[in-house]
Structure 1
Amino acid sequence: MEAFFNEWLWKEEYWLPPGISWQDTEMKEEEGRFPRPRDLLFSLPLAVAFIALRYVFERCFADPLRKLFGVEERVRIRVVPIPKLETFYTQNTRLPSQSDVLSLGKQSGLSQRKIQTWFRHRRNQDRPSRTKKFWEATWRFVFYLASFTGGLASLINTSWFWDPSECWRDYPKQPVADAHYWYYMLEMSFYLSLLLCVSVDVKRKDFKEQVIHHIATIFLIGFSYCANFVRMGTLVMLLHDSSDIILESGKMFHYAGWSWLCDPMLIVFALVFMLTRLVVFPCRVIHTTLVLSLDFFQPFFGYYFFNALLLVLQALHVFWAYLILRMIWKFAFMGKVERDERSDEESEADDDEEEEQEEESSWDQRKGTMNSKLASLADNCVLNNLTNQRSISRLPKAR
């Protein structure tokens, strides 16, 4: 297996500039640490430790904070157990089609409306609680805040923090400081823990995109570490953590019902996102890796691959920026944001609950209209009967 990796995966032309071999990257202990792929194995037990720490954090810190913020649960209707409907719900789909409703109606003897109402309440019953959402947002907020603070403290005195072209000086023989090594390990372990917990976390509409995002992030961190793009990688992680802090804190305020604070947080998040992802990232990061790096080495496979990944990431930034600007547009001209345009859309059950309220209100309106029509019809019938009786009683006199 080791011979296979050395022959096919760890070829020098894949990972190193032309004219440089693996022997040239070897360092003595006093010179510092050179990143090795086996270092990434430490992130696996660290990810498990993150999961255990999160469990303790949510119950010992996030829950008291939830009570302090006044996050309350909504009252939900518990459905009456119906075996046939429950079997269809768990084994087939949570959103039955019209033909499925007709078929279930024949099997259970229930009306279509009762079946649709049962499925709607059943979905809302499985909807994640506000407590769970608040716990998750608090955990991520604390991590991003600690990661950004620690990353900034470890980078602010480095030469490449102020001059990104220094990321490539003496490349690839660049020692990795212990602080930057732990910065990498903690970031990778955190996203590994998110990937392992994705099935039990709050399931949103962009569930598949979340899984792809976590895998891509882990892949990017791992690749940049193995290729010793650590200096540039630390800058990329720092830029992304800066806006994620504001995003997660905004979620916390949203779940607490602090609407007066959510709107300013939206503006601040949009400004930070635009500045870091659409200005600093392309002008300082991509320009440095794509153009300035050629002053220090000749292009090789790792150069093309790493820049391709960064360009894909920038394309995603442009897409998210479009959605955020659309949110700002709604906020400016409608006075509020009706729906989160970014990836934090809640599960389908949230929409079901709103649809249910709308349907119930429209049903009440229709029922009120129907009752008024029936009442007027009944009055007309009574008036007609009285008129007929009076005409009949007057016939003998007329005769």
Structure 2
Amino acid sequence: MDILTFGLLNQWLWQKNFWLPPGATWQDVGNDGIEGSRRPFPRDLLLTLPLALGFIAVRFVFERVVALPLSRTLGVCDRVRARAPPEPKLEAFYLQRKNHYSQSELLGLEKQCGLTVRQIHHWLHLRRNQDKPSNTKKFCEASWRFVFYLIAFVAGLISLIDTPWFWNHRECWRGHPRQAVTEAQYWYYVLELSFYWSLVFCVSVDVKRKDFKEQIIHHIATIFLISFSYCGNYIRVGTLVMFVHDSSDFLLESAKMFNYAGWRKTCDGLFVLFAVVFLVTRLVIFPSRVVYSTIVESLDFFDPFPGYYFFNALLLVLQALHVFWAYLILRMVYKFVFLGKVERDERSDEESEGEEEGDGAEEKSCWEQRKGPLNSRLVSLANNCVLNNLTHQQRNINSRMPKAR
């Protein structure tokens, strides 16, 4: 019974009427007789799951062996945060509720712990600060993504620059689905999909940002898009989609790295370059060339079918996310150009470091620690000046005492 059910499910899942244009069969996919090439089979994608675990292992080693020493070399500094005193009941409440709690719950904790509501607020504030990611952690994460996106961009450029569909997008559909897959295209697909799987697996430990939900939607849509395009042999246009995305991602990650290191001018320059590349590739090239080719030009080679609509729907989801992120970027550019400042990263951590209370919850930052010796000298100098002034005033008073008498 289980074997029969699996067979029916397998037959239903791989219906050619959904995946392929009218008149095409699975035997036609990738079968053009070119030597040294391969046909795309869905089972090839099973390799991406162990490779994703491999990416996680490589990332673990990279962040500790390469990224961490690099962060110290560039001068990345972390805030020294005060730790919350041990309170088992408050700890259990915090782990369960995080930031979502009501005043009535705090009043109940007041009776259980013997602390005032203000003291409970202060404890929760300290506990939240402990969970905030350090600059070093964010730097290591950004450096790992920077290395991958840079390598993926260069590898994609090398593998695509000599292909006819890189310059003429109509070639993406000529002969579809009888289009063989080269080894370079195969590994380009497999490694990109493996990397996005690793991002999904690490979502619980990575830095959580304001656009966390949008990032999850982006990763899931990308995984579906890469997997579907490989199984249906939309690999030519799929490589263009991945290349367009990689062209700006490594610039963003490099800007983050220098931001955490405190290199403001370098960070600003890279961010402006990233903004230009992002807006051109995601709002101009991607919709006008890639999406237009998949929606309009492809119909010159085959009639619409369910897979055609599904594939374009995923591309439109990505384009909607591009518009959302472009809005955030333009808002930052407006603050930078017209207001002369950027208050904070529009895609910053969910709990910003600007939410400080004047209760000594956080100690001095690295810069404040560097200013310590200078401040002590200034204070000493000021004290000497005050003492000299007092001594001088005392002498003047003593000198005038006889005259007053």
TM-score of the pair, normalised by structure 1: 0.85
Q: One-letter code of the match for 2:185?
A: H
| Aligned counterpart in structure 1 of residue 219 of structure 2, from 214, 220, 238 | 214
**CA deviations over 1:246-299 (Å, ceiling 9, x no partner):** 111111011111112222222111111110011101111011111111111122
Q: One-letter code of the match for 1:97?
A: S
Report what 1:395 is aligned to: none
1:253 aligns with 2:255: no
**CA deviations over 1:286-319 (Å, ceiling 9, x no partner):** 1111111111112211112111221222122122
Q: 1:191 touches 1:214 (CA, 8 Å); kept in 2?
A: yes
Q: 1:95 touches 1:119 (CA, 8 Å); kept in 2?
A: no
| Aligned counterpart in structure 2 of residue 41 of structure 1, from 40, 46, 63 | 46
Report what 1:22 is aligned to: 26
Report what 1:145 is aligned to: 150
Report what 1:275 is aligned to: 280
Q: 2:165 touches 2:236 (CA, 8 Å); kept in 1?
A: yes
Identity percentage of aligned residues: 63
| Aligned counterpart in structure 2 of residue 114 of structure 1, from 115, 119, 122 | 119
| Aligned counterpart in structure 2 of residue 309 of structure 1, from 314, 325, 328 | 314
Report what 2:380 is aligned to: none
Q: Shift of residue 19 of structure 1?
A: 1.5
Report what 1:356 is aligned to: 356
Q: One-letter code of the match for 1:10?
A: W
Q: Tell me how far apart the structure 2 counterparts of residues 207 and 24 of structure 1 sit (CA, whole Å).
A: 41
Q: 1:127 touches 1:347 (CA, 8 Å); kept in 2?
A: no
Report what 1:57 is aligned to: 62
Report what 2:398 is aligned to: none
RMSD value, Cα: 1.9
Q: Tell me how far apart the structure 2 counterparts of residues 314 and 358 of structure 1 sit (CA, whole Å).
A: 43
Q: One-letter code of the match for 1:356?
A: E
Give the number of equivalent residue pairs.
356
Q: Shift of residue 202 of structure 1?
A: 1.6
Report what 2:248 is aligned to: 243
1:346 aligns with 2:349: yes
Q: Tell me how far apart the structure 2 counterparts of residues 29 and 45 of structure 1 sit (CA, whole Å).
A: 30
Q: Shift of residue 25 of structure 1?
A: 3.1
Which ranges of 4 or more aligned residues in structure 1 deviate by more than 4 Å?
A: 358-361
Q: 1:220 to 1:47 in 2, by over 3 A?
A: same
Q: 1:177 to 1:67 in 2, by over 3 A?
A: same
Report what 2:230 is aligned to: 225
Q: 1:93 to 1:176 in 2, by over 3 A?
A: same
Output aligned runs, 1:74-223, within 5 Å: 74-223=79-228
**Which consecutive unaligned segments of at least 5 residues does structure 1 have?**
362-399
Q: 1:196 to 1:88 in 2, by over 3 A?
A: same
- State the secondary structure of the residue aligned to 2:38: coil
- Bigger shift: residues 274-283 or 255-264: 255-264
Q: Shift of residue 6 of structure 1?
A: 4.6
**CA deviations over 1:110-157 (Å, ceiling 9, x no partner):** 222221111101110121222111110000000000000001100000
Report what 2:330 is aligned to: 325
**Which consecutive unaligned segments of at least 5 residues does structure 2 have?**
362-405
Q: Tell me how far apart the structure 1 counterparts of residues 90 and 28 of structure 2 sit (CA, whole Å).
A: 67
- State the secondary structure of the residue aligned to 1:356: coil
Q: Shift of residue 358 of structure 1?
A: 6.0
